[in-house]
């Protein structure tokens, strides 16, 4: 009887472990979920949720004014960024391209790049997670135009992805 009880216990433990590992998302799945949440927040104009998924300052190279770091990066307060972007985002070329073409992921370590507003405990070498959108393909706007991409940047803070900024190339 003990053997059967032990076998049932082991089988139950294995099944519970298998279910737990299936529920745990990969890092890319977590990034995908964070990006989808960001797009949802921007299209539905949910400022309260934006506060939860974004950093206090957003890196925005296309923003005219903001806190400029020694490396030339421009950061704007979260509320200001949201106010500017959320109103026009559903009509933007970025959003239209996202719906039409989808997006891709990449990541890189950016050395010695921790912004001053980040806690000193955060590593100076930041792992940046990028979500790329081909906003315009080559020759799409006009013949000879090289095309354009936008990247939504995220970093992990306390194990959760937080929106860091947006840039284009």
Mean pLDDT of all residues in 132-138: 92
The model's pLDDT over 62-102, given as tens digits with 9 standing for 90+, comes to: 776 666 655 667 888 999 999 888 888 999 999 999 999 99
Q: Chain-wide mean pLDDT for the chain?
A: 83
Cα 80 from Cα 64, distance rounded (Å): 12
Top-confidence residue, 21 or 48: 48
Cα 126 from Cα 109, distance rounded (Å): 6
Least confident of 47-51, 65-69, 137-141: 65-69
Q: Are 98 and 39 in contact (CB under 8 A)?
A: yes
pLDDT band at 36 (very low <50, low <70, confident <90, very high): very high
pLDDT band at 103 (very low <50, low <70, confident <90, very high): very high
Top-confidence residue, 148 or 129: 129
Exposed, middle or buried: residue 28 (CB in 10 Å: 0-12, 13-18, 19+)? exposed
Residue percentage of the chain with pLDDT more than 70: 81
Q: What pLDDT was estimated at residue 55?
A: 94
pTM of the model: 0.80
Cα 15 from Cα 21, distance rounded (Å): 10
């Amino acid at each position: 009887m003990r053997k059967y009880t032990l076998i049932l216990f082991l089988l139950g433990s294995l099944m519970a472990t298998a279910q737990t590992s299936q529920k745990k998302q990969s890092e890319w799945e977590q990034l995908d979920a964070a990006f989808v949440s960001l797009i949802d927040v921007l299209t539905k104009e949910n400022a309260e949720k934006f506060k939860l998924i974004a950093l206090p300052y957003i890196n925005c190279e296309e923003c005219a004014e903001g806190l400029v770091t020694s490396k030339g990066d421009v950061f704007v307060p979260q509320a200001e960024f949201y106010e500017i972007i959320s109103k026009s985002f559903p009509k933007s070329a970025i959003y239209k391209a996202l719906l039409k073409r989808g997006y891709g992921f990449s990541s890189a370590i950016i050395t010695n790049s921790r912004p001053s507003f980040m806690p000193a405990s955060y590593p100076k070498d930041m792992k940046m997670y990028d979500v790329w959108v081909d906003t315009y393909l080559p020759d799409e706007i006009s013949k000879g135009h090289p095309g354009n991409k936008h990247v939504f940047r995220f970093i992990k803070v306390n194990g959760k992805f937080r929106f860091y900024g947006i840039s284009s190339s």
